[in-house]
Amino acid sequence: MEAQTEATTEVRKPISAAPLLAVENLSKRFGTQPLWQNVSFTLQKGESLSICGVSGSGKSTLLLAIGGLETVQSGTVTFDGRPVVGGQRAHVEGIGYVFQHYHLIEELTVRENLLLPFSIRFGSKQMPDIWDEVLDLLGLREFLDRLPTTLSGGEQQRAALARAILAKPKLLLADEPTGSLDEATGTCVMELLLRVCQRFCMSLILVTHSAMFAARTDRRMLLKDGFLREQTA
Ligand SMILES: Nc1ncnc2c1ncn2[C@@H]1O[C@H](COP(=O)(O)OP(=O)(O)OP(=O)(O)O)[C@@H](O)[C@H]1O
Ligand SMILES: [Mg+2]
């Protein structure tokens, strides 16, 4: 008779890893006008989250506060185990930013733009180890020696995305990265952004007005009437 194998019960230990990002009771006002209050959430490594909300609800300000570029009245942001101090001139190491209007430097070639933040951090003699892969993923090789003003919006946004990720940030903050693009180009850039985050295991906070793009992230939040709430449906 065939020997019976005894059923084993696998005991899984609870995952106790600290989140990559912890936002706790963050409140912001301009003057006496509160913008948002008691904003709290955590984000795990590799997790993606979208934030929707009407124009003026404070999404961009929240993203800036998370990246250390905006002060807050109260609350804390902890990134990768370290406190983020608001109102810094440069955003925190390990956090990459992509903006709606690209913000490439017009006088520099695409190559120089791409390498600028990386060389500030690691020196100009070193090349990013993901340079070739990123250029191929985002289809940027043919534009390297051109000035940003000679590129289309979609091409500029691909360059801005490459610039943000070459130093391999653990967290990418993307503020309406397709807001200036037509639907087809925007969809293409968004696909690339999601693919890049997955490929390099980057966490993502995506501010978007598009329910379709928001649906592509692991979690969805809505900033409304000064409060940030998780959407369950
Ligand atoms: N430095 C500032 N001083 C005073 N008010 C500001 C400042 N920055 C932003 N605000 C105000 O805070 C509110 C939120 O701005 P924010 O740019 O964060 O909104 P948003 O949700 O990103 O809007 P949009 O979807 O249009 O980009 C706006 O009413 C804006 O005028
Ligand atoms: Mg905004």
User: Quick one: CA dihedral 181, 102, 58, 93, positive or negative?
Assistant: positive
pLDDT digits (tens, 9 = 90+) for 158-179: 999 999 999 899 999 999 999 8
Helix (H, G, I), strand (E, B) or coil at 34: strand
> Which pLDDT belongs to residue 85?
87
Q: How many helices (H) and strands (E) does the chain have?
A: 6, 10
User: From ligand 1's centre to the CA of 30, what distance in Å?
Assistant: 9
Instruction: Give the count of domains, the chain.
Output: 1
- What per-residue string of b and e applies to 25-64 under the rule 16 or more CB within 10 Å gives b? ebbbeeeeeebbbebebebbeebbbbbbbeeebbbbbbbb
> Which pLDDT belongs to residue 67?
93
Residues sharing a CB contact under 8 Å with residue 153, sequence separation 6 or more, in sequence order:
102, 180, 181, 185
> Which pLDDT belongs to residue 92?
82
Radius of gyration of the chain from Cα atoms? 20
Residues sharing a CB contact under 8 Å with residue 120, sequence separation 6 or more, in sequence order:
none
Amino acid present at 68: G
User: From ligand 2's centre to the CA of 63, what distance in Å?
Assistant: 9
DSSP 81: T
Residue 83 covered by a domain: yes
> Which pLDDT belongs to residue 229?
96
61 lines ligand 1 (CB under 6 A): yes
> Which pLDDT belongs to residue 206?
97
> Which pLDDT belongs to residue 144?
97
CATH number at residue 187: 3.40.50.300
Place of tokens 């301009």: 30
pLDDT digits (tens, 9 = 90+) for 92-126: 889 999 998 989 999 999 999 999 989 988 888 88
Distance separating alpha carbons of residues 204 and 152, to the nearest angstrom: 25
Residue 5 covered by a domain: no
To test ligand 1's pocket by mutation, which of 59, 99, 176 has the most ligand atoms within 8 angstroms of CB? 59
The pTM (predicted TM-score) of the whole model is 0.90
Residue 16 covered by a domain: no
Residue 115 covered by a domain: yes
175 lines ligand 1 (CB under 6 A): no
Mean pLDDT over 68-89 rounds to 91
CA distances from 94 to 6, 34, 87, 129, 203 (A): 48, 29, 17, 16, 11
- Among the atoms of ligand 1, which is closest to the Cα of residue 64? 18
> Quick check: 13 pLDDT over 70?
no
Total residue count of the chain as it appears in this document: 233
Domain of residue 198 covers 21-231
Reference 49, options 192, 216, 228; nearest CA is 216
pLDDT digits (tens, 9 = 90+) for 21-30: 999 999 999 9
User: From ligand 1's centre to the CA of 58, what distance in Å?
Assistant: 5
Ligand nearest to the CA of 54: 1
Mean pLDDT over 43-53 rounds to 97
> Which pLDDT belongs to residue 12?
54
Residue 76 covered by a domain: yes
Residue 11 covered by a domain: no
> Quick check: 14 pLDDT over 70?
no
Residue 203 covered by a domain: yes
**What tokens does 46 get?**
């590799």
Residue 81 covered by a domain: yes
210 lines ligand 1 (CB under 6 A): no
Reference 178, options 198, 202, 207, 150; nearest CA is 207
User: From ligand 2's centre to the CA of 8, what distance in Å?
Assistant: 53
- Among the atoms of ligand 1, which is closest to the Cα of residue 31? 4
